[in-house]
Amino acid sequence: MHPLLVLLLATIAVFVLIIRLKINAFVALILSAILIGILSPQIALADVIPEVTSRFGRVVGNIGVAIAMAAVIGHCLMESGAADKITRQFIRWLGEKYSSASMLVSGFVLSIPVFSDTVFYLLIPLARAMTIRNGGRRYVLNVLSIGAGALATHIFVPPTPGPLAMAATLNIDIGIVMIVGLIIGVPSAFAAWLYAIWIDRRLNIAVREAPGASIAELEDIAKRPEADLPSFSSSLLPIVLPVVLITGNTVSNNLYPGSAFAQQMAFWGNANLALILSAACALWGLARQKGLGLRGLAGPAEKAIKDAGLIILITAGGGAFGGMLVAAGVGDVLSEGATNAGVSYLILGFGTAMLLRIAQGSATVAMITVAQILAPIAAGAPLAYHPVYLLIATGGGSITAGWMNDSGFWVYRTMTGLTEMEALQTKSACLSVMGVTALLCAWLGTVLFPMV
């Protein structure tokens, strides 16, 4: 069976299992990975299960600790009120007149350690309350700004699963990914914000009732006493610490390779250790704010790690699925076809990720699958630019043209009270603008700063 036919059938299998049969995403990805092995003539039948489990284990080893620690950080930021404090501080600096910019920046910052859907749940009451205080105006703008900011760092900046797994698969320094992801995330989020301003004026939708707090209760949520919240510096510490340590490791390794300082930073700036230290800071902040002892922290930490378990399984399942596609020869066929047709690898990564996102809904799964396909291509044919740009272009494709098979679509539609068509006009279109902007920025990076 031709590798592209294997790819088509495997993608259909994922779509049917997840969307039609409502099978858990992890189970669907593992079953589809096994199907690839059975269909491909390049994989011996006896090797199918060992190959699937080996590739699954490889991904878990690369990203498991980081995702678990990121989940602990995110949970503590929410429970302690630190996330609320960060948002209020940005609103204070920018003013309520520019509330949508405050939502954009808050989502951008908070989604570095916290998953984007969680950030949206956290900030939507504040956005709705702010809209009411502004006379019901700019509702779509405020809620879209949260999503644009949160998705920018969720897709382009580790330690969220997509960029973290891609960095490991493509063997890219995580500090480089953080720096480039943050830089390209800014214009991508800004472009999405400009679209949000335009579509908000065009639709002019008023705030609507939605699950959670009623409209009458929203102002009380936004008026929580400042005395109940931690300080801004302690709130920001768990977010800033891993960024400083990881990027410090990258900078020292490039400026002082082999030095004692670089070796020290290689230890402290290891992504897993940096996130462990950050999680410790977040737990300390929660304990101080809530008056908890060590035993009192066991519950929040255990809950966060349980939540992370499913994310790790799905992420590793996506890695196994993509790895089996590589073993089936899909990467070689796509590479050869792209070369013969003169298609840029940036376009290949973007387009493949977009098609996988449309087919099965998850941006993370799309990124991880495409990373497995691109890895041998990037290793086999020396690129004229740094592979981090492949990661950015693939991430842009993974959020382009998302629709109703994406769980985030339904989170947005339900929590805002919009109709399905309004959600497509707002969220889906807004994220497509962000994805295309990221692709253009990645291309510009290959021209201006090819080796970073």
Kindly report, residue by residue over 2-46, the tens digit of the pLDDT. 888 988 898 888 878 877 888 887 898 899 999 999 999 999 999
pLDDT of amino acid 188: 97
Q: Phi and psi at residue 56, in whole multiples of 5°?
A: -60, -50
Note the pLDDT tens digit of each residue in 51-88. Answer: 999 989 988 888 888 888 888 887 788 788 887 788 78
Looking at residue 227, the DSSP 8-state letter turns out to be: G
Q: Contact at 8 Å (CB) between 83 and 114?
A: yes
Note the pLDDT tens digit of each residue in 146-179. Answer: 999 999 999 999 888 889 989 999 999 999 999 9
Q: How confident is the model at residue 310 (pLDDT cuts 50, 70, 90)?
A: confident
pLDDT higher than 50, residue 359:
yes
Closest alpha carbon to 354 in 291, 292, 403: 403
Stated pTM of the model: 0.80
pLDDT of amino acid 442: 97
pLDDT of amino acid 339: 67
Q: How confident is the model at residue 417 (pLDDT cuts 50, 70, 90)?
A: confident
pLDDT higher than 60, residue 214:
no
357: Cβ contacts below 8 Å, ≥ 6 apart: 363, 366, 397, 398, 399, 400, 401, 402, 406
Q: Averaged over 254-263, what is the pLDDT?
A: 88
Token pair for residue 35? 């199907």
358: Cβ contacts below 8 Å, ≥ 6 apart: 401, 402, 403
pLDDT higher than 80, residue 404:
no
pLDDT of amino acid 220: 56
pLDDT of amino acid 133: 67
pLDDT of amino acid 178: 94
Mean pLDDT comparison of 201-215, 280-294, 350-364, highest-scoring range: 280-294
pLDDT higher than 60, residue 48:
yes
d(CA 344, CA 326): 19
Q: Averaged over 307-331, what is the pLDDT?
A: 82
State the chain's mean pLDDT as an integer. 85
Q: Contact at 8 Å (CB) between 325 and 373?
A: yes
pLDDT higher than 50, residue 213:
no
Note the pLDDT tens digit of each residue in 104-162. Answer: 998 999 888 777 877 787 677 777 777 776 677 789 999 999 999 999 999 999 888 88
Domain range list for the chain: 3-448
pLDDT of amino acid 137: 79
pLDDT of amino acid 37: 93
pLDDT of amino acid 219: 52
Q: Averaged over 398-413, what is the pLDDT?
A: 80
